[in-house]
Structure 1
């Protein structure tokens, strides 16, 4: 909206200036001028015509701006409201709720009101009332709770049924909005799509409403949000990327403060909400309770004889009740053991083993159900999902995209072949461009010889690197993607041409000196001519190579942003980038070289454009396509990936979120990642994507053991992943060990002369390790562990106040992003009432050059 207003303002200013100029020129053209100006009077009429003609596009542009943002009429708003209600019902109620894994779990979940999870505006003025948990009366409808409190925070453990209850609430709210035209339209906003750390929630709502999920026009979306015509149901606060989760929660709180009369519903896992260190000021908070034995018995009794085996197994093995405490595992058990006798129900072994067998039985039943669409063999389904889970587990990703397939899926030998094959066209195009340019600038033989050498050199270099990935526009803006590639290439190309040109010129001058000396001795040439000739030739050769070298750089994109776009959008972006970059580079280069060098210059321009097209987008596509062919031949991936992923969604093994896919539950991801299918070629078993144990306890223990040798970023990612699953009492002690190990990887004293102001590989690694340690400490502070969060606050403060030569000497201080968290946690300690801790916290605040609170002295 702001950018549109700015455009209109500028157009109006320019139009006024043009009007004034037209008036002046008209007076000049028709007025009486001095005799000396009379010979030039004819110029005024062409200038007047040019000014008038230039004003026409401005008028047209103003009309387009006005047409692009028309007023929302009452009839259009009414029509759009009905269409939106129908679309939301079709998408979320009919498409998700009735098809979800919980569709048969009709047991009423127990709810408990938790006032302690919220911050109310009057808490600062009045003594807080009773904050103890209070059970909610059975039969209470959530729609009545939302109407009464104007805000609801829904919390629960993983698999407790938060999304199902949210969608059930949505169904009731849709009924209310259908009957009452003044009621706001309930809309589900998956917070997994949140990707900003500073954007107001209103702007994000507009973007989501205008995106592929709902497809509203911008002016209608802005009008609805500005006038509180949309009731937001925010699902999955725990699914926001960890480093942006607090910013998302702050944006939600800021939105609610300015729209307090509008109901707002937020759903999150309880552990992730507690880890935020922030309390919403919503009307009430409800915690979904674990299922009781009575609820499970009543639910199983509804199925009659088909569940007799499971009921008998539960009676003989009471420990089985622990598996059925959440709607997810209860429904899994119903589907896995439907119609089976008691002896076939997994009752032996520890809880973890029984749970694994339960998941395996559910998967076996799920893949053998007859679908309405395409059919796949059960063994193929298990094998393909196993490799999807391995990739997600290796990268600790929650979402899978069709663009995720790359050469790292292949065994080493096949990976090297794919990279070599895709490097061949790149080396030929690069060498051909270099040879043709040198042919134009120097001579034919120089172009041929150096072009062949460049082809061989580029081929060897590209064959030992990475094959590249599919380039995609992070925010869906393809122009920005093109400008990113062209901008990076232009920036690096200028410095490359200057650097290699200077080096080539110096080398050429040296060669010219030798040639000149020989010429002087033999009397066959001029010394200065040889030096200048060879120096210029070397400069041109270096400049050409300096321009071409940056083309081999690959820039990817934020893969998580693909969740907001249709499946396969990244592949289409790469095709568009390939074609557009060819035109953008080829047309001007061909025109310029064609004018100066004729047909040879035109051919050079076409080859140069083809080089840019292949290296900017083509090689990533070629690598993706060739890798897919090899994987399909080996039986690792399906030939129709989208059809297969939709099959997995239809069989409630995966969920579709925008353009990405995720497993229906973390337990399914862990199950498939640990599988080793039997019908897999041997070279895939020992190489490529290997089996991985993603159980949170095992993953965290492995991270603690590997923290001394692992990449700091991988350690932080593993700690982040497990922190959203494990309770703070289990997770925080191990996370503290990881932080201590990461900090210990940086020596206490460094030799300043070795680290040159923080720009060497050693100092960059140390800075990365210190950042990683600070990230982990910040997460421990947010976990609100009784003891370790205090320890982490002091350790973070100590980390930020201990200078390390060679790491802190750079212009940008890496500590800045952590200062606010350290100060906030230390100030909180000063209010705990413990005098000794308060004194330590004040001392640490003084070290951070922060003035402590006045009441703390």
Structure 2
């Protein structure tokens, strides 16, 4: 019903739009050729063409939406049993798995990982699709690989292991084995590997959900089908049919990467999934420690744990590598502490890449924790120091800072995951306090934005309504900059940052914003009848004050707001009724409100990433912080006035305009500590710009992620998707000192250059 209702609504909008256009178009043509409009439309004749343009735009957008909806419905209605669907899906799955394996460290070290059975870790399901013939529980065969173990455990298994043990590697191996079988056996399920990190545990329902599914299962199925669509280009409608008919094998990687509060939902959702759908194959991976903290074990047929590497496996691998790893082998034989590190394929790969071709003396002696830090530092230094002829190159400082920023974000703000966010600043950068960024924000951007905004508004007002009105805007703008909250701070440590170009950019941005907002706001208000403009302004001010009265917690503040509102109402009405140019008064009142809200917005910008105590304004740096803004704002006002005079602005005062600006300034509540609702977006944009400006993020996401993947710090996990090669690598980068690590990379580059020379 909802889909039909939306379609009906679009048809009604289209019909009404076309009907109004057919009525207004002859009138507009008649007026344009010298005729007259009907009497009831005479005062609105100037709006005819803009309204027609808007109606045409609505009609075009509605038609395009209807066309797109029909195409989507037609595409979704394709039969899931078309002969080409299965081979096309398998071909895309093969490419995806090949890319994942090629981009991982596991492609460099192929070791036979031993498995231990852990039947107590799961609850055997009571309605398996395929039941064993014997009454006893099937055990995995000795020295079985993952595909054999999966078959022995009735295609329903949990894979457990320590960090770096090779869980994802085993799941990739299993996926490739099952895909090969699916190619040769048409009835065999198609294996689809999906990372659980993207599941949010949503319980929102959509129209296309199965009504018999619970809200939790409906959200999981919808997320799963979206993953199939984006990763393997399997249409959602086709994927839903295949899932219902048991034609998909589900390989779910990384229970530990689900947001902590949502992990407990996985067991019930998988249990319901196996009740409601034909799930013939299911494999799940998780770190041992995280799995033991789950409130409920998973309902699967069996579980396996990956054994740590044995000394014999490590020594055999070093021996097979020959002289390139002779130094690493000698070091590990001489230092027993290193055996505590190199017990997993990840650490073996890290050590192999870090110390390939190097002397054993390069491995520093010390505690195990020191070994680990040194090993990862050496690994990062080694892989970043190696030159690659393909792709864009980055200097060490920018590369390490960007990797540190990404690692910090994915661990702290993105739900403790290894996948790099699609957008580098998805939800703001709260908590990431960096001195260079703070310096640029508070000592460069804020003064320049204040100066540009007030100066641009002064110029526009003086050009439209005379120099006295522009002077009134500049004066009360300077006053509002002083009004609390004052969110800036004087930073005594002057950072070595490029400031001139950034200052010019911020000045221009503020000036354009101030000039454009005043010109557009005053222009739109002047097009309206004076009484209508005043009514709209009164409604906006009244709604704002009413909301503030509701949210205020003290009677004293409510009284102050009431008195202020009464004063604004009386002044506005007296000036409006006795003015010879009420339209000019209303337009300048709008200018006052616009400038005040612009100053509030600029004040709110640094709050997005830097928090100060409430007593900051009373500290010894408070007055000096305020004073630093005055020369900037005063300079902007003077430049704006001088430019307006040069352009021919009127010098004689216009009382209506000046009074309008003053009433608008009194009406505005620029002292409120609550930031405007729309301040979050500009604040994130500004902070993202400063992170890039100071070298903590790359300007272009794609080339840098490809650069990091080419150096085995990141791995490609999907189309335009990347993740850190492992949790331990991410944590090491998040905890490191990026500048110190960059210095190590530079030293390693210099060493390699000397050896080549």
TM-score strictly above 0.5: yes
Q: Is the 8 A contact 2:124 2:302 kept in 1?
A: no
Q: Deviations over 1:195-233 (max 9, x none)?
A: 23434221111222233x334433333333333332221
Paired residue for 1:102, among 106, 109, 122? 106
Q: Per-residue displacement from partner, 1:84-132 (whole Å, max 9, x unpaired)?
A: 22222212x2211122111122111111111111112459xxxxx9999
- Residues 3 and 272 of structure 1: is their aligned pair in 2 closer, same or farther, counting only changes over 3 Å? farther
User: Does 2:298 match 1:280?
Assistant: yes
**Aligned equivalent of 1:811:** none
Given that residues 115 and 304 in structure 2 are in contact (C-alpha distance below 8 angstroms), is that contact kept between their aligned partners in structure 1? yes
Q: 1:223 to 1:491 in 2, by over 3 A?
A: farther
Deviation of 1:187 after TM superposition, in Å, equals 1.2
Corresponding residue of 1:628: 692
C-alpha spacing 1:424/1:452, structure 2 compared with 1 (3 Å): same
* Secondary structure at 1:165 match in 2: helix
User: C-alpha separation between the residues in 2 aligned to 1:512 and 1:75?
Assistant: 67
Do the aligned partners of 1:418 and 1:623 also contact (CA within 8 Å) in 2? no
Contact 2:158–2:285 (CA under 8 A) maintained in structure 1: yes
Q: 1:408 to 1:227 in 2, by over 3 A?
A: same
> Match of 2:739?
677
Partner of 2:476: 453
SS at the partner of 1:403?
coil
5 Å matches for 1:271-420?
Answer: 271-346=289-364, 348-374=365-391, 375-378=393-396, 381-386=399-404, 388-389=406-407, 398=417, 400-401=420-421, 403-404=424-425, 408-411=433-436, 412-420=438-446
CA deviation profile, 1:543-579 (whole Å, cap 9, x unmatched)? 878987886778999xxxxxxxxxxxxxxxxxxxxxx
Distance in 2, matches of 1:3 and 1:511, equals: 47
Distance in 2, Cα, partners of 1:90 & 1:216? 14
Deviation string 1:801-854 (CA, Å, 9 cap, x unpaired) is: xxxxxxxxxxxxxxxxxxxxxxxxxxxxxxxxxxxxxxxxxxxxxxxxxxxxxx
Please give the per-residue CA displacement for 1:149-203, whole angstroms capped at 9, x wherever unaligned: 1311111111010001001111111111212222222111111111234342211
Q: Which residue of 2 aligns with 1:89?
A: 94
Contact 1:426/1:459 (8 A) holds in 2: no
In the superposition, relative to structure 1, how do residues 378 and 134 fare at CA in structure 2: closer, same or farther (>3 Å)? farther
- Identify the residue that residue 667 of structure 1 maps to in structure 2: 728
- Counterpart of 2:712? 652
Give SS of 2:116's match.
Answer: strand
CA contact (8 A) 1:504 1:539 kept: no
CA shift at 1:3, angstroms? 4.6
Q: 1:206 corresponds to which residue?
A: 225
Residue of structure 2 aligned with 1:69, choices 49, 63, 73: 73
SS of corresponding position for 1:232: strand
User: What is the aligned partner in structure 2 of residue 176 from structure 1?
Assistant: 181
What does the per-residue CA deviation read over 1:522-548, in whole Å, with 9 as the maximum and x for residues that have no partner? xxx99x999xx9xx9999999878987
> Residue 199 of structure 2 aligns with which residue?
194
Cα distance in 2 for partners of 1:390, 1:60 equals 42
Equivalent residue, structure 2, for 1:239: 257
Counterpart-to-counterpart distance in 1, 2:380 and 2:237:
46
Tell me how far apart the structure 2 counterparts of residues 157 and 202 of structure 1 sit (CA, whole Å).
29
Aligned ranges 1:488-567 → 2 under 5 Å = 495-498=543-546, 506-507=563-564
| Structure 2 residues without counterparts, runs of 5 or longer | 14-60, 128-133, 204-215, 490-501, 503-537, 550-558, 609-655, 661-675, 744-757
Whether the 8 Å contact between 2:248 and 2:281 is mirrored in structure 1 is: no
Q: Which moved more, 1:449-458 or 1:281-290?
A: 449-458
Corresponding residue number in structure 2 for 1:112: 116
The match for 1:267 is: 285
- Please give the residue correspondences for 1:409-488 in structure 2 after superposition, counting only pairs within 5 Å: 409-411=434-436, 412-420=438-446, 423-424=449-450, 427-428=453-454, 449=472, 452-454=475-477, 457=480, 464=487
Q: What secondary structure is seen at the aligned counterpart in 2 of 1:305?
A: helix
Alignment-derived partner of residue 703 in structure 2? 643
2:440 and 2:690 in contact (8 A); partners too:
no
SS of 1:102 mapped into structure 2: helix
In the TM superposition, residue 278 of structure 1 has moved relative to its aligned partner by 0.8
| Cα contact 1:310–1:341 (8 A) shared by 2 | yes
SS at 1:152 equivalent: strand
Instruction: Determine the C-alpha separation between the residues in 2 that align with 1:413 and 1:171.
Output: 51
Task: Return the alpha-carbon distance in structure 2 between the equivalents of residues 513 and 387 of structure 1.
Answer: 54
RCO greater where, 1 or 2, for CA within 8 Å and sep 6 or more? 2
Deviations 1:754-784 (A, max 9, x none): xxxxxxxxxxxxxxxxxxxxxxxxxxxxxxx
Distance 1:270 1:554 in 2: 43
Contact 1:120 1:282 in 2 (8 A): yes
How far apart in 1 are the matches of 2:164 and 2:65? 53
State the partner residue of 2:615: none
Residues 548 and 114 of structure 1: CA distance in aligned 2, closer, same or farther (over 3 Å): same
* Residue-by-residue CA offset, 1:14-48 (whole Å, 9 max, x unaligned): 9xxxxxxxxxxxxxxxxxxxxxxxxxxxxxxxxxx
| Distance in 1 (alpha carbons) for counterparts of 2:413 and 2:153 | 44
Alignment check: 8 A CA contact 1:495 1:546 kept: no
Structure 1 residues 62 and 229: alpha-carbon distance in aligned structure 2, compared to 1, 3 A threshold: farther
**Closer, same or farther in 2 for the Cα pair 1:461/1:512, shift >3 Å?**
closer
1:376–1:505 CA distance, 2 compared to 1 (3 A):
closer
Question: Is 2:353–2:382's contact at 8 Å kept on the other side of the alignment?
Answer: yes
Compute the displacement of 1:648 (Å): 1.2
TM-score normalised per structure 2: 0.59
1:4 aligns with 2:3: yes
User: RMSD value over aligned CA atoms?
Assistant: 5.3
> Number of residue pairs matched?
537
Are the structure 2 counterparts of residues 382 and 79 from structure 1 closer, same or farther at C-alpha, using a change threshold of 3 Å?
Answer: same
Length-normalised TM-score, structure 1: 0.52
C-alpha distance in structure 2 between counterparts of 1:499 and 1:541, whole Å? 22
- C-alpha displacement of 1:432: 7.0
Look up the match of 1:248.
266
Partner SS for 1:137: coil
Could you tell me how far apart the structure 2 residues matched to 1:101 and 1:183 are?
30
